Amino acid sequence: MEYRKLGDSNLEISVITFGAWAAGGWMWGGTERGEAINAIKAAYDAGVTSIDTAPIYGQGLSEEIVGEAIKDIQRDKVQILTKFGMRWDLAKGNLAMHSKDNSGNVIDIYKYAGKESIIKECEDSLKRLGTDYIDLYQIHWPDTTTPISESMEAVARLIEQGKVRHAGVCNYNPEQMDEAAQYLNPVSNQVPYSMVKRDIEKEIVPYCIEKSKSILAYSPLERGLLTGKMKPGYKFGADDHRAGIYFFKDENLQKVNAFLEKILPIAEEKNASLSQLVLKWTFEQPGITIALAGARNSQQALSNAAAADIRLSKEEIDKITAHLNQLSLSR
C-alpha cells in the first residue's frame, strides 16, 4: 500500500481509502452489517488504513459500522474521515432531496452547515464512531444559506478543542475553497472523479495543484460502471439510486464496455482486474491524491486494496488515456 499526505498537513492516508457509503445501505439497496464490518477489517489488514464515511450514509448506520469495525485497532493506526452538513432530522438550509431511510420511511434531506448544527453533528459522529477525535472533518456539500465563514469558524473551534485534527471540503469550487481558506486551512477537496467524469480537470485540479490541496476522488469506479460487470439490460433494485443515471443506459453500457475491452490486455498483463486497473489509473492522474473505493464484502475490499500494488509506466497510463479520450457517452 502507498500512503500520501493531505495537502500541507502531516496526515497521511492510504491511496485506496475505504468508502463507506454503501456500508450504510441508504440508496444502495440495503446493507449486511456483518459483511460490511468484515470488509473494513479485511481492507485494514491489507493496508487500507483510511475510512471515509458520513452521518447521512444510512442516517448514522455507516458511522456505527465503521466504529464497530475499528474498535480493536489502535486509534492512531487508522484515519477516520467523516463529514457534516446533510441533515435528515432538521428542516433547515437547502432541501437536497426527498428520500427514504433503510426502513422505507420518507425523509427530507437538507444541506445545512450552521454553527450549532456542526457542533451537534460532530458530537453525534464521535459517539457513533466510538472515538474522541476525527482525523479529517469535511463539509459534505456547499450550503448557500449559511456563510462559509460561519461553517469554517465552527470547524476551527472543533480543531482548537482537539475533536478534529484537520479540515476538508467536498464538492467545493475554487472560489468557495478560497473563501474557506480565509478562516482555516482546508487540506483537501473531495469531489467526483472517474474515467467518465473528468470535468474537475478544467479548474479544480489546476487550482488544487497550485494551492497544494489534495483531491480525494469519489466514485472512481462510477458506481460499478467501470468494473466491466454491468451489461446492457442490467436491472437495478427499486431503491437503488443508479437506476435513473444516464451512465447506465444500455447505449452507454455498450460504449463503456467496448472501451474496457480495449484496456483489458493491460490489466491481464498485470494480472489485475479491470476495476484494479481503473483505480490505479485514477490515483495516478495529476492532482489526484487518493481514490475512494467501497466494498460490500471482504473479497471486494481485498481486490480494491490490491490496486495499489499494480505498476503502470507513463506509456501505459498514456495509452489508457488515449483510448479513453475516444469515448463519448450519450446523455
Cα(242)–Cα(316) distance, integer angstroms: 31
Q: What is the pLDDT of residue 87?
A: 94
Rounded (5°) CA angle 216-221-223: 105
Quote the crossing angle between the two packed helices 33-45 and 298-306, to the nearest 10°: 30
Which pLDDT does position 234 carry in this prediction?
A: 78
CB 307: neighbour CB atoms within 10 A?
24
CB 84 within 8 A of CB 140: yes
pLDDT, residue 224, reads: 85
Length of the chain, in residues = 331
Residue-wise pLDDT tens for the chain (331 aa)?
999 999 999 999 999 999 998 776 655 555 678 888 999 999 999 999 999 999 999 889 999 999 999 999 999 999 999 999 999 999 999 999 898 888 888 999 999 999 999 999 999 999 999 999 999 999 999 999 999 999 999 999 999 999 999 999 999 999 999 999 999 999 999 999 999 999 999 999 999 999 999 999 999 999 888 988 888 877 777 667 777 788 888 888 899 999 999 999 999 999 999 999 999 999 999 999 999 999 889 999 999 999 999 999 999 999 999 999 998 888 8
The pLDDT, as a whole number, for residue 223 is: 84
pLDDT at residue 244 in the model? 76
| pLDDT at residue number 298 | 92
All domains of the chain in start order, with CATH: 3-224+275-310 (3.20.20.100)
Return d(Cα 265, Cα 261) in angstroms, integer: 8
Burial degree of 322 (CB within 10 A; 0-12, 13-18, 19+) = exposed
Which secondary structure element, helix H or strand E, spans residue 292, and what is its range?
A: strand 288-293
- CA–CA separation, 328 vs 292, rounded Å? 24
- Whether the Cβ atoms of residue 55 and residue 124 lie closer than 8 Å to each other: yes
Q: Which residue has the cell 420518507?
A: 106
pLDDT score of 328 = 85
Which residues contact residue 238 at a Cβ distance below 8 angstroms, ignoring those fewer than 6 apart? none
The DSSP annotation for 110-170 comes to EE---HHHHHHHHHHHHHHHT-S-EEEEEE-S--TTS-HHHHHHHHHHHHHTTSEEEEEEE
The catalytic residue positions are: 57
Rounded distance between C-alpha atoms, residue 215 and residue 135, angstroms: 16
All three cell numbers of 135: 482525523
- Beta carbons within 8 Å of 225's beta carbon, 6+ residues apart: 194, 196, 247, 248, 253, 256
3-state SS string over 174-193?
Answer: HHHHHHHCCCCCEEEEEEEC
